[in-house]
Structure 1
Amino acid sequence: MFNMSSTIFFMSLITGTLISISSTSWIGMWMGLEMNLLSFIPLMNKNKTPYENESAMKYFLVQAIASIMFLLAILLASMMDFDYYTYINYILSSALLMKMGAAPFHFWFPGVMEGLDWMNCLILMTWQKIAPFALLSYKLFMNNFFMTIIILCVTVGAVGGLNQSSIRKIMAYSSISHLGWMISAMMISNYYWIMYFFIYSLMNMAVIYLFKSQSLFHLSQIYFNKNSSIVKFSIFISMLSLGGLPPFLGFLPKWMIIQNMMATQYAIIILIMVMTTLLTLYFYLRIMMNAFTFMGNELMWQTSSNKTNILILLISISILGIPMLMILPLN
């Protein structure tokens, strides 16, 4: 159903991000972030449930604290001597990392995700990260601070998702893990970050469309879900691609980052990142393996033709990575 207020807030959300990434002053960037925040909160709270109210309140408080830190860093930069500039950069970077939900500022992120519907989860995991990342790119260079952030993101994202039964929380920890990879990609070049973010968003859309269409929120729903095998197979392929398993599409940006990080002598960091990615693959597989073990008594491959076409499209997006991986070494 067409909702005028939601449309206005959605347009305002997009405008806020565009103002942030196109502004030439830090105050203009801050204004864009605030506009983006104040547009997203009504979208979060559209169904008026207690869970959404709680998520909106958590999100607002955390983003307000991050905005105060951001403004403080801007003011200090104009007042302090050049000697303190490194510390001011750390404050500004911490504020932006808190806004995007990167570890160790991630504690709000799974709790907020748990109270939202799937469409808002998708916005929070993808669009809401564009402006903080664009602003962070101005201050991003490989030092001990950002190396620690990358290691914390991939570790927290892998370990946090192991013991979860809520799919939304699993997706939240998955997003935290991907943030570590995206920060690494941005350190190499903005091109790699754009490519990684685009493929990550595509994989997220595929997975969240499947969860939303089947009304899946907890692991137990997938185990005993009476949907056709093609639905479960689509989720399985999309989740493996999101986890970065070769030869699916999600492996392509990770492979490029591994190659470039190895070429720039950051072997220890990339080793930690690859090892933690194996843990994230474990909890992706945990979502699906039990679902396949309960398939014996179900109807096989029977669903409406319209939905079948969409599911096959989602599978083909992930499998698209196979020919791309074959072409890549020739470049």
Structure 2
Amino acid sequence: MFNNSSKILFMLILIMSTLISICSNSWMGAWMGLEINLLSFIPLMSDNKLMSTESSLKYFLIQALASSILLFIIIMFMMNSIILNNFMKMMFMSSFLLKMGAAPFHFWFPNVIEGLSWMNSLILMTWQKIAPMMLISYIIFKSFIIMSIFFSSLIGALGGLNQTSLRKLMAYSSINHLSWMLASIYESNLIWMIYFLIYSFMTFTMIFLFTMFKISHMNQLFSLFFNSKTMKFFIFFNLLSLGGLPPFLGFFPKLIVIQSLIVNNQLMVLIFMVMMTLITLYFYMKLTYSSFLLNYYEINWNMNSNFNMIKMKFFMFFSFLSSFGLFIIFSLYYLY
């Protein structure tokens, strides 16, 4: 078990390793950054619990496999000194997609997240995707990335339909969002940065809530009690925002990607992604309706003493931005 100072050190190494991969001017340097990233994240995952130890072992094996594929292709490329052909591009992209858990290499992602704490899940769903996504942008192979977009949309939508675990639900939601991020990075790095930042903010807001109330399953969401129904509305507004329902903030990056795909005549990809997003919205809406319309017994006495009011105020602020951020953006746009 590591103390807090050790965890802070590993977090700094994690951040620096991602920057090494992004800023490297050679594939070998990028590979070294990814390896340092792996070795710094494994100690953060392990917290002397059986499920987290199992998840860290699964994560290590999968990342080692992806790193082996990447190193093999790098050595082939350096020995032959030839221009990247389609096979090499496909192998490069396969290793990066495997590292970040995009379909069809997603099989490990929900199972690993299921055994992690919420904070480690947040890192895995957000920060750990930065380096592979940036490296993919250097070697985009059109047909392969479109295949991954289709699979990620489909599996992210259908995989979350029958889930009761919120960790797995967030994992499949992340896979679905990966399809939009891959589509955005295919169009423009700037669009990808906007999408990733807003997605990370919405994911952080939800995980902040789950950590604060120690929630892991859907039935815990149904019976949450608050002094005000406003809090419950904000919670499910965040879920709908994460699903990309207008007029919430989560619709804004999707709107940018939709506009970009229309301009570049990628209509088939766009129609499929929108249809799969409607399925994800279906299970978010089902969760919301179940909580508000079904008759659940709720505890009515005051529980403020058990909650940190500073955290509650932070959550309300983040929820407000997630719920009404789109109005704020458009208002600022029209004002200036």
Instruction: Report if TM-score (shorter chain) is over 0.5.
Output: yes
1:195 is paired with a residue of what secondary structure? Answer: helix
Following superposition, the deviation at residue 323 of structure 1 comes to 3.2
Counterpart for residue 166 of structure 1: 165
Counterpart for residue 49 of structure 1: 49
2:85 is paired with a residue of what secondary structure? Answer: helix
CA offsets 1:159-194 (integer angstroms, 9 cap, x no match): 000011100000000000000000111111110000
Contact 1:20 1:131 in 2 (8 A): yes
The alignment status of 1:280 with 2:280, answered yes or no, reads: yes
Specify whether residues 262 and 52 from structure 1 end up closer, same or farther in structure 2 by C-alpha distance, changes over 3 A only: same
The alignment status of 1:211 with 2:210, answered yes or no, reads: yes
Contact 1:158 1:279 in 2 (8 A): yes
CA distance in 2, matches of 1:154, 1:301: 43
Specify whether residues 131 and 307 from structure 1 end up closer, same or farther in structure 2 by C-alpha distance, changes over 3 A only: closer
Counterpart for residue 314 of structure 2: 310
Q: What are the equivalent positions in structure 2 for 1:55-94 lying under 5 Å apart?
A: 55-80=55-80, 82=82, 85-94=85-94
CA distance in 2, matches of 1:267, 1:330: 33
Counterpart for residue 15 of structure 1: 16
Which of 312, 320, 323 does residue 325 from structure 2 map onto? 320
Contact 1:77 1:85 in 2 (8 A): no
CA distance in 2, matches of 1:235, 1:301: 19
Deviates more, 1:179-188 or 1:81-90: 81-90
Contact 2:225 2:298 in 1 (8 A): no
Over aligned residues, Cα RMSD in angstroms? Answer: 2.2
Specify whether residues 323 and 290 from structure 1 end up closer, same or farther in structure 2 by C-alpha distance, changes over 3 A only: same
| Identical-residue share of aligned pairs (%) | 45
Contact 1:234 1:314 in 2 (8 A): no
Counterpart for residue 109 of structure 1: 109
Specify whether residues 86 and 211 from structure 1 end up closer, same or farther in structure 2 by C-alpha distance, changes over 3 A only: same
CA distance in 2, matches of 1:238, 1:297: 21
Following superposition, the deviation at residue 3 of structure 1 comes to 1.1
CA distance in 1, matches of 2:139, 2:334: 32
Specify whether residues 154 and 326 from structure 1 end up closer, same or farther in structure 2 by C-alpha distance, changes over 3 A only: farther
CA offsets 1:175-231 (integer angstroms, 9 cap, x no match): 000000001111111100000000000001101001110111011111223344344
Following superposition, the deviation at residue 263 of structure 1 comes to 1.1
Following superposition, the deviation at residue 329 of structure 1 comes to 8.5
Structure 2: state its 5+ residue gaps. Answer: none
Specify whether residues 272 and 38 from structure 1 end up closer, same or farther in structure 2 by C-alpha distance, changes over 3 A only: same
Structure 1: state its 5+ residue gaps. Answer: none
CA distance in 2, matches of 1:253, 1:86: 30
Contact 1:230 1:301 in 2 (8 A): no
Counterpart for residue 263 of structure 1: 263
CA offsets 1:49-100 (integer angstroms, 9 cap, x no match): 1000110010000000000010111112123474872101100110000000
The residue identity in structure 2 corresponding to 1:139 is: I
Specify whether residues 301 and 243 from structure 1 end up closer, same or farther in structure 2 by C-alpha distance, changes over 3 A only: farther
CA distance in 2, matches of 1:315, 1:84: 46
CA distance in 1, matches of 2:243, 2:30: 32
The residue identity in structure 1 corresponding to 2:73 is: A
Specify whether residues 163 and 266 from structure 1 end up closer, same or farther in structure 2 by C-alpha distance, changes over 3 A only: same
Contact 1:224 1:294 in 2 (8 A): no
CA offsets 1:111-150 (integer angstroms, 9 cap, x no match): 0000001000000000000111111110015x22111110
CA distance in 2, matches of 1:306, 1:60: 37
Following superposition, the deviation at residue 291 of structure 1 comes to 2.0
The residue identity in structure 1 corresponding to 2:33 is: G
Contact 1:231 1:311 in 2 (8 A): no
CA distance in 1, matches of 2:303, 2:135: 48
CA distance in 1, matches of 2:49, 2:17: 26
Deviates more, 1:232-241 or 1:114-123: 232-241
Contact 2:249 2:326 in 1 (8 A): yes
Counterpart for residue 127 of structure 1: 127
The residue identity in structure 2 corresponding to 1:70 is: L
TM-score (norm 1): 0.93
The residue identity in structure 2 corresponding to 1:20 is: S
CA distance in 2, matches of 1:301, 1:263: 54
CA distance in 2, matches of 1:56, 1:250: 31
CA distance in 1, matches of 2:211, 2:300: 21
Counterpart for residue 33 of structure 2: 32
Specify whether residues 308 and 49 from structure 1 end up closer, same or farther in structure 2 by C-alpha distance, changes over 3 A only: closer
1:320 is paired with a residue of what secondary structure? Answer: helix
CA distance in 2, matches of 1:16, 1:330: 41
Contact 2:100 2:132 in 1 (8 A): yes
